[in-house]
Structure 1
Amino acid sequence: MSSEQIIFYFFAAMVLISALLVVSIHNLVRSIFLFFVTLFSLAALYVFAFADFVAITQVVIYVGGVLVLMLFAFMLSNKELLSKINPVKGIIRVNHIVAILVCTLFLFILLNVIIKADFESLSWIKTADQINGKDNTVHQIGIQTMTRYLLPFEVLSVLLLMALIGAAHLARKEKKV
């Protein structure tokens, strides 16, 4: 086994273990920090897939922005609201059975599709260019963003600005009358 494979399996295991711990730990602060580990490990896996732009975006946007926002929201939130949160006792409860059944059904459907799919016969996979380590994906994404996809890029920036203004409005504390 090569050193690249060992590093890949290490980061893949880190993603799986930390993601499972994020949803199973009852302490919110520890869960947020484990989410940090999950996102960084996922960025490392993107580097192995030669998706350097996606890896950098993962670190800057999700780790740098969303995760810090989650930490600030948690730390600035009302302590009375946090004290009302009751930890769930037991993993499987009666009201979770329907959700578990639906998730299991979707899992079997997805596995059935993956098993029966013939990926070698798909035309878009045959015509896809092979990515090698010398490709500069950031350069190609920059050219496509500023030429072909300029209008959707600008619409997305306005949408994100509206979401930011809405989040700031919702986070504002209202005066008691």
Structure 2
Amino acid sequence: MNLIQVLFYVMAFITLASAIFVAASKSLVRSIFMFFITLFALAGLYVLALADFVAITQVVIYVGGILVLILFAFMLSGRETLEALEKQKKQFISANKIAAFFLSGIFFVVLLNMVLKVDADHLPWISSAIKTSNVITPININTDNIGINLMTRYLLPFEAISILLMMALIGAAHLSRKEQTL
């Protein structure tokens, strides 16, 4: 086992453990900060996959933008709202969560089936890419190519994503404003 594999397993463990903590934690503050760690570990996995642009985008947009908006929405929300959320019944299994458990179970079975049955080292498209030397190496510069394509060929989807992020900003601002009492 080489250093890259060890780093992959460490980053994958950090990502999964912090994501499980986010979902299972009853403290909203701890969940937000563990979500921060999850997003950074995911960016580390992107770096290991030689997707440097995606890793930078992950850090800038999700960690630097969306997560900060969530944190501000939490900080600006009223104490009464947070106390009401903490007093709600928190049953792990209830009637209104059955559909979510069912879909999660199906997804888990499909994912487990794929992991056990697929031989990733001998997939046809990977074998043909290795034979034709069509592989990404660490010395290839993809960021320049991605930037040129984003501003020419894929300008419309890029602008659609910017509108989506603006909607997230407006939603966070709406959630964070104080309600007027009558």
Q: Give me the TM-score of the superposition, normalised by structure 2.
A: 0.79
The share of aligned pairs that are identical, in percent, is 52
Q: Considering Cα pairs closer than 8 Å and 6+ residues apart, tell me whether 1 or 2 has the greater RCO.
A: 2
The Cα offsets for residues 6-51 of structure 1, whole Å up to 9 and x where unpaired, read as: 2221111111111111111111101111111111111111000000
Residue 43 of structure 1 aligns with which residue?
A: 43
State how 1:76-95 maps to structure 2 within 5 Å: 76-85=76-85, 86=87, 89=90, 91-95=92-96
Q: How many residue pairs align between the two structures?
A: 176
Partner in structure 2 of residue 69 of structure 1: 69
**Match status 1:109 vs 2:110:** yes
Q: In the alignment, is the contact (CA less than 8 A) between 1:44 and 1:55 conserved in 2?
A: yes
Determine the C-alpha separation between the residues in 2 that align with 1:99 and 1:163.
24
Instruction: Point out the more displaced range, 44-53 or 63-72.
Output: 63-72
Match of 1:131 among 136, 139, 153: 136
Q: Write out aligned runs for 1:1-177 (5 A).
A: 1-85=1-85, 86=87, 89=90, 91-112=92-113, 120-121=123-124, 126=128, 129-161=134-166, 164-165=169-170, 168=173, 171-173=176-178, 175-176=180-181
Q: Give ranges in structure 2 of 5+ residues lacking alignment.
A: none
Shift in Å, 1:130: 1.2
How far apart, CA to CA, are the structure 1 residues paired with 2:23 and 2:175? 26
**Contact 2:77–2:175 (Cα < 8 Å) also in 1:** no
Contact 2:11–2:44 (CA<8 Å) still a contact in 1?
Answer: yes
Equivalent position amino acid for 1:146 in 2: M
Aligned 8 A contact 2:74 2:176 in 1: no
Paired with 1:156 and 1:93, the residues of 2 have a C-alpha distance of: 36
| Compared CA separation, residues 149 and 49, structure 1 to 2 (3 A) | same
- How far 1:157 sits from its partner (Å)? 3.2
Q: CA RMSD in A?
A: 2.9
The TM-score with structure 1 as length reference comes to 0.81
